Amino acid sequence: MQTGSPAFFRLLANPVKFRLFLLSKLPSAYFSGIRVLNANTSGCSVSVPFKWFTRNPFRSTYFACLAMAAEMSTGVLAMAQVYGRKPSVSMLVTGLEARYYKKATGVTVFTCEDGDGIRNAVETAVSTGEGQTIRARSTGRDVNGETVAEFFVTWSFKSKRS
C-alpha cells in the first residue's frame, strides 16, 4: 500500500522549490503569502497572512484568500497521495462549503486532519477503478486559537488506468 509520496514531502520541505512551484502553478497563492507550516500523511496546516494583498474593504481577510488556504490544506494531503503514483490518479475539487464565524484580522491557520480518509479514497479509486469522493474539513483559527472559518472541500479521485 502506497501511503503518500516522500518525494512530494521533500518538495514541500524545500522552501525555494515550493515557492517556485507556487509561482509557476498557483501564482495567487504565491503573491498572497500562503505558507505550508507543516504537513505529513495525516494532516496539514497552512497559513494566510493579513496584509494588503489579502484584505478586503472591510478590514479583514478576503474570503477567497481564506478559501485558497483552506483548499491548500486539503490539497496538499491529496497531492501527496497522487504524486508519482502508477497508475496515475486524477484529482479535482467538486464542491466547496464554507462557514464564517468571525472576522479574520490577522494570520489565519487552516488545518486539515483528513489525510487517512484521503489516502483511503485514493487507494479505493486505484483498486476498484471507480471514482471516489471525500469531503475534507479544514478549520481556520486565529492566533488566539479561535475558529474564524470552517471549510469543507469535496475532492474527487479517479484512476487513469489504460
What are the mean pLDDT values of the chain's consecutive 10-residue runs (162 residues total)?
A: 64 83 89 92 95 91 96 95 90 97 97 97 94 98 97 96 62
> What pLDDT shows up at residue 118?
97
Domain count, the chain: 1
Residue 93 lies in a domain: yes
> What pLDDT shows up at residue 76?
94
CA distance 10 to 78: 15
Of 120, 37, 27, the residue nearest 78 (C-alpha): 120
Residue 98 lies in a domain: yes
CA distance 144 to 67: 20
Residue 49 lies in a domain: yes
Length of the chain: 162
> What pLDDT shows up at residue 21?
85
Can you tell me whether residue 11 is helix, strand or coil? helix
Domain, as residue range, for 122: 6-159
> What pLDDT shows up at residue 2?
44
CB within 8 A of 22, min separation 6: which ones? 29, 30, 34
Q: What is the CATH number of the domain that holds 26?
A: 3.10.129.10
Residue 1 lies in a domain: no
> What pLDDT shows up at residue 4?
59
